[in-house]
Amino acid sequence: MPVITISRGSYSHGKDVAEKVAEKLGYECVSREIILEASEYFNVPEFKLLKAIQDAPSFLDRITYGKEKYIAYVKAALLRHFMKDNVIYHGFAGHFFVADVPHVLKVRIIADFEERIRLVMEKDGVSREEAVDFLNKLDAERRKWGLRLYGIDTSDASLYDLVLHVKKLTVEDAADIVCYVVNMERFNTTEESKQMLQDLALEAEIKALLIDLRPDAEVSSKNGVVTVSIRLPVEIDETELVKKIEEKCSKVSGLKDLKVQVSPTTLFRQ
């Protein structure tokens, strides 16, 4: 069975649609649970993971891989969860990680700005001016997040299989449409698409495990065979580093073989 990701701006009824679809299909509905799983698995404070997926990366983050580290943890937990099938995830960034997986239906839920303002005022008890300022800042931050990390604008409709505007369509209508589309044959899980997701999950987990050791490591997986590519100055012995990489990856579920490729670089001295 397929996986569904629902991307939504805050206060756009995306959560309501996701929960209604999960109820109709009998799917597991997850969002913040992924953060908790990543926090527990990688022993990282939850607030750091939340901050990483909510705030755009600073210049320092991009130099030090600070934010990328926490996003790697969330990505690994999310992809592992998707391997269960029959999952609907609503939240930020889910569709980024599974862009090419055929059995994942990627949905975007939008709502009129006036409706979003009304919801903020109603739920948070703030003035109209405060609600407008809050939503403008939040939308800008989320757009910067995608652009700085992936060069992708989250509001770009081409990123999604389905974009639904909750206005004339009710939450119930939107849920019915998602249920109809996800049951199309083209979203059926195949052995090939399942393997593609397994490889992505494997890549993500190993990247997350290695990010403190070698944040610049490139990781790829093909049918469970993982290749880790790193660049190392010729003056440095690679033996110890390769050993550490192998140790960190030794207990990863689904790993059939690990290959570490080291490409030499030159240290420049004045």
Does the residue 196 lie in any domain? no
Residue 223: inside a domain: yes
Residues 6 and 107: beta-carbon distance below 8 Å: yes
Does the residue 111 lie in any domain? Answer: yes
Question: Does 67 lie in the same domain as 116?
Answer: yes
CATH number at residue 30: 3.40.50.300
24-to-18, 120, 123, 164, 179 alpha-carbon distances in Å? 10, 27, 26, 18, 8
Which single residue is written with the structure tokens 């569709």?
Answer: 95
Same domain, 123 and 12: yes
**Residue 270 belongs to some domain of the structure:** no
Range of the domain at 82: 3-187
Residue 174 counted as domain residue: yes
Instruction: Report strand pairing: 28-30 vs 87-90.
Output: parallel
Q: How many domains does the chain divide into?
A: 2
Same domain, 163 and 31: yes
User: Do 55 and 156 lie in a common domain?
Assistant: yes
Stated pTM of the model? 0.86
Verify that 158 and 256 share a domain, yes or no: no
- Domain end point (choices 172, 187, 202): 187
Shared domain for 81 and 126, answered yes or no, is yes
Q: Is 250 among the domain residues?
A: yes
Question: Amino acid identity, residue 245?
Answer: I
Is 202 within the bounds of a domain?
Answer: no
248 lies in the same domain as 183: no
d(CA 268, CA 263) in angstroms, rounded, equals: 16
Q: What's residue 58's pLDDT? A: 57
Task: Verify that 156 and 80 share a domain, yes or no.
Answer: yes
82 CB neighbour count, 10 Å cutoff: 25
Residue identified by tokens 């790697």 is 72
- 140/224 same-domain check: no
Q: What is the tally of helices (H) and strands (E) in the chain?
A: 10, 8
On whether both 217 and 125 belong to a single domain, the answer is no
The CATH number of whichever domain residue 224 belongs to comes to: 3.30.70
Residue-by-residue pLDDT tens, the chain, 270 positions:
789 999 987 889 999 999 999 999 999 999 988 988 889 988 888 888 877 776 655 544 554 456 778 888 989 999 999 998 899 999 877 888 998 999 999 999 999 999 999 999 999 999 999 999 999 998 888 888 778 767 788 888 999 999 999 999 999 999 999 999 999 999 999 999 999 999 999 999 999 999 999 998 999 999 999 999 999 887 788 899 999 999 999 989 999 999 999 988 765 444
Query: What DSSP designation does 92 have?
Result: S
Same domain, 32 and 125: yes
C-alpha to C-alpha distance for 77 and 105, rounded to whole angstroms: 19
Last-in-domain residue among 187, 203, 224 = 187
